[in-house]
Amino acid sequence: MRGAKLLGIGAAIAILLLAAGNFGKVGLSQGQIPPVRTLGFGAVESVAFSPDGRYLAVGLGFLSSVQLIDTSSWQVIRTFEGHTSSVFSVAFSPDGKLLASGSGDWTIKLWDVATGREVRTLKGGADVAFSPDGRLLAFPGFYKETIRLWEVATGQEVRTLKGHTDDVTSVAFSPDGRLLASGSFDGTIKLWEVATGQEVRTLRGHTDGVFSVAFSPDGKLLASGSCGRHESGRGCVQGEIKLWEVATGQEVRTLEGHTSDVWSVAFSPDGKLLASGSWQVIKLWEVATGREVRTLTGHTSWVWSVAFSPDGRLLASGSFDGTIKLWEVATGREVRTIKGHNDEVRSVAFSPDGRLLASGSADRTIKLWEVPTGQEVRTREGHTGEVYSVAFSPDGKLLASGSWDWTIELWNISDLLGR
């Protein structure tokens, strides 16, 4: 999320408005465009209009705050305070209900525009993945440009992988367990040799952060989700997915169609389809051709996570709207909406036998659900931070959960089910 960054302006910001529908035309005289209005602030770092043009958000430097201006009166109607450093970026959600602010304190805050309430503070990545043999866990390290590999049986750290220059957002093992892929806010994907920790290659092509990575079932392709194009004041206006050839690192194709960041990608078990989650929608793509097969609509906010059932018949999606939805892949029909979390659902995963669905939420809980009925089987608490990732071990006996409290919890499924 990026706003128009205006550095060195000091005590004022000149707002040049060329929207004829709201303010009329701005005349040109001798090559100069006069400002419609000059608003006095401190050091201004970023500005963004709401989608309906009613509000202007201004991110301030020394004051470490965001001010909301009513464009009909040009009065400050609300100040959002909570950051501890300069606010370098502001952006409204597409529906105008939320405002995001990015700061030098390394946090992104989400604010309710109508009330001024702080909805959420995001601090980094917390993805977790099992190796195919179930022996290892991969997880972004405390220094978030790194990935840490842990031995499941002992809980000992095996090695730390270093090479990214910004936070690692996503990790995935290749089906044969020999490679690990990592996506980062630095815009790259790195492939690592699991046995040695050596970097095999770096995949470059995205112009923004990489939010999700996934290997195809045969291990020949890698998919990555990102943003393809930003517009000042609006943030991401075009999401993109790239498909890469693992053996060579060559880009195979780019899939475009989303209107915002692509936060999640997943291959179907047969490798023929790719699912991607973005703002309010999930798209299904034909991998061989890059053709968009269908769009699944029903969520009312970001789709953070998508996962196919082991038989490929169902797709699960977890969203910022606090719900989980199950979809029939063949038709795109919504089978069921599962409710129970008290906050956004960050991650969903099917058990290897397809009977259970696990979900991790910002409400700091992990829930198990019965897939055929949608009934809640168990809720577990233990993390002191938001749960951002859940993953079953390949044998289905363990569930791993990764959290913003920078811990991984391992849960015995038989204990969770009371067996």
- Flag whether pLDDT at 103 surpasses 80: no
- Flag whether pLDDT at 94 surpasses 70: no
Q: Bigger pLDDT: 71 or 127? A: 71
Average pLDDT, integer, range 42-68:
77
φ/ψ of 14, rounded to 5, equals -95, 120
pLDDT digits (tens, 9 = 90+) for 150-175: 888 887 889 999 999 998 989 999 99
Percentage, residues of the chain above pLDDT 70: 83
Which residues, 6+ apart, have CB-to-CB distance to 368 below 8 Å?
356, 357, 358, 376, 377, 378, 379, 399, 416, 417
Q: Quick one: which of 335, 262, 273, 339 has its CA closest to 308?
A: 273
Is residue 103 within 8 A of residue 111, CB to CB? The reply is no
DSSP letters of 50-114?
Answer: -TTSSEEEEEESTT-EEEEEETTTTEEEEEEE--SS-EEEEEE-TTSSEEEEEETTS-EEEEETT
**How does strand 75-81 pair with strand 98-103?**
unpaired
Query: How far is the C-alpha of 356 from the C-alpha of 375, rounded, in Å?
Result: 10
Percentage, residues of the chain above pLDDT 90: 56
Q: Give the pLDDT of residue 256.
A: 96
Average pLDDT, integer, range 123-127:
50
Q: Quick one: which of 351, 347, 349, 380 has its CA closest to 366?
A: 380
Q: Give the pLDDT of residue 104.
A: 62
Which residues, 6+ apart, have CB-to-CB distance to 248 below 8 Å?
none
- Confidence category of residue 235, pLDDT binned at 50, 70, 90: confident
Average pLDDT, integer, range 89-110:
71
pLDDT digits (tens, 9 = 90+) for 163-219: 999 989 899 999 999 999 999 999 999 999 999 999 999 999 999 999 999 999 999
Output the six-digit token pair for 65: 């705050």
* Residue 226 neighbours by CB distance under 10 Å: 26
Domains and their CATH numbers in the chain: 4-122 (2.130.10.10), 129-416 (2.130.10.10)
- Flag whether pLDDT at 24 surpasses 50: no
- Confidence category of residue 238, pLDDT binned at 50, 70, 90: very high
Q: Quick one: which of 265, 246, 247 has its CA closest to 255?
A: 265
**Which range (38-42, 124-128, 220-224) has the least confidence?**
38-42
